[in-house]
Structure 1
């Protein structure tokens, strides 16, 4: 029985290796098509890799580049944004995304976050949720070790140093836990999407017969805050809200 299990695992590994090898070949072929100026064919080849559920920042970046060459505004921005989710500090992705965003029609003022909220958001966004959690665990472990050192110290000076250090470690642990929960909360609320419709009419209510609030055009980034049937309630960067047909947008968090 064990031999059969091992055989099945090895068989699955072989199929995975074959799949990765085929995708590497497709990726190479797509790059060749792109370099030869055959952007539409390159897009088809890149998307066939996505169909196999293999994702990478490089793949999304190249898809963005190919769509940008064809002046496909919404797809280019969409794929650059996807790439940026996987590699948030990549300068090439950031620069190309900025170029693509210059092709959009909508000029929406961004409401700045000011005061204490801005400070908290800046601190929270330094690390992701997992990193904040690891810092919290390290802080707790450090607190326990130093507290034990305090307990077994015999001199007043060593006890004082150990006590102060343990308090600092405990503070770091508690602060990191708070930041981890805050980051998790922000990630849960963060649900961006890109408008794919050439022009979409945003309504006051999730109904085609309701009053129009404003119009959005392809490539504009929105935040989805609610879903009702075939409608999404969205917010744009100036904090205006409204309902848009689900078919007019594509969610960025879907992989």
Structure 2
């Protein structure tokens, strides 16, 4: 019975993959024909099946950008960038979309060791850092075995130095992996989807207005109280907005 369920599950997954692949090609054709709205509908149909990919998010961003949909284009470029943080095409297109936003927010620059660690950790995702660590663990084990069983003093010396280097790299990559994990855990970005929102000093409509934001602006979610989100901007300003006005990444 279990085998039958596994087979049925496999066939369903394979059929769904084939269907999504066909939908993706149809959406790309619509995009190339300039039918951006119809292309978006096709891409979203794939998203509804819980299928996520860099290409899917990137193409959704491109289609929304063509329609001058500021917030959705930035949102999907950011989603693509989460999966491929070093992709230059995504970064360039995201920069073009961000140029359409109204809010000019100064970024508080990082400095010192924190900046170096963050920049290094963000070069790869947590999963990639973990895989690199595992790879060098295997290298360490193999080189240590070579050192242990080698008869030649030269081979022993080289194997020992190689295993020592592998172990050092394992420690460094693990450090970056856990640092990246902590960064991702603290990182709760969102995009403003409303045309204009009033940022409040407290999580209620009776509180005073602190400042205003417009669609496409990226914020960090700090806290949630009922239907309100506490946000922080890149320049350090904080305030409360309605949960309906932003969309978490």
Q: Is the TM-score greater than 0.5?
A: yes
Give the drift of 1:98.
1.1
Asked if 2 retains the 8 angstrom alpha-carbon contact of 1:192 and 1:221, the reply is yes
SS in structure 2 of the partner of residue 110 of structure 1: coil
Between Structure 1 and Structure 2, how many residues are aligned?
248
Matched, 1:108 2:105: yes
Matched, 1:71 2:63: no
**Matching residue within 80, 85, 88 for 1:88:** 85
Asked if 2 retains the 8 angstrom alpha-carbon contact of 1:147 and 1:166, the reply is no
TM-score, structure 1 normalization: 0.84
Matched, 1:183 2:176: no
CA RMSD in angstroms comes to 2.8
Give the drift of 1:7.
2.4
SS in structure 2 of the partner of residue 43 of structure 1: helix
TM-score, structure 2 normalization: 0.86
SS in structure 1 of the partner of residue 74 of structure 2: helix
> Following superposition of structure 1 onto structure 2, how do residues 1-255 of structure 1 map, counting pairs within 5 Å?
4-137=1-134, 138=136, 142=140, 146=144, 149=147, 170-252=167-249
SS in structure 1 of the partner of residue 61 of structure 2: helix
- Of stretches 69-78 and 11-20 in structure 1, the one that deviates more from structure 2 is 11-20
Q: Deviations over 1:141-167 (max 9, x none)?
A: 7289649948x9998x99998887766
Structure 2 unmatched ranges of 5 or more: none
Q: 1:95 to 1:126 in 2, by over 3 A?
A: closer
- Residues of 1 paired with 2:156 and 2:17: CA distance? 58
Give the drift of 1:41.
1.7
SS in structure 2 of the partner of residue 106 of structure 1: coil
Asked if 1 retains the 8 angstrom alpha-carbon contact of 2:143 and 2:159, the reply is no
Higher-Rg structure is 1
Structure 1 unmatched ranges of 5 or more: none
Q: 1:126 to 1:90 in 2, by over 3 A?
A: closer
